[in-house]
């Protein structure tokens, strides 16, 4: 488990990616994809999206993205799912 200082270091590195478009998505292990999302759907949803924020919650690093289609981005509500979650998409690393 990484320490808090390491996560802060990674967050500061990730700040350099803000505003950059996601060119490719590599998801070789389906364990990291949640809510029934598969690698092809993640790639289709995130390709062309832009990183808009790098933040952390404890030891969890979150990279917020902005995309035209938030339907498949983890962290956004699906219609009728009944969950109150933030509207912005979040991807963790």
Instruction: Identify the sign of the CA torsion 77, 82, 83, 85.
Output: positive
Q: What is the mean pLDDT of each run of 10 residues along the chain (93 residues)?
A: 85 94 90 89 90 92 83 50 45 49
Write down the pLDDT at residue 16.
94
Could you give all domains of the chain from N- to C-terminal order, each with its CATH number?
A: 4-92 (3.20.190.10)
Cβ–Cβ under 8 Å, residues 51 and 20: yes
Write down the pLDDT at residue 83.
42
Threshold 0.75, pTM exceeds: no
């Amino acid at each position: 488990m990484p320490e808090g200082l390491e996560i802060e270091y990674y967050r500061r590195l990730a700040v350099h990616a803000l505003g950059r478009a996601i060119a490719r998505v590599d998801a070789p292990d389906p364990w990291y994809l949640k809510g029934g999302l598969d690698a092809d759907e993640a790639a289709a949803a995130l390709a062309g999206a832009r990183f808009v924020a790098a933040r952390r919650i404890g030891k969890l690093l979150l990279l917020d993205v902005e995309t035209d289609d938030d339907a498949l981005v983890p962290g956004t509500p699906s219609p009728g799912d009944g969950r109150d979650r933030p509207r912005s998409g979040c991807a963790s690393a």
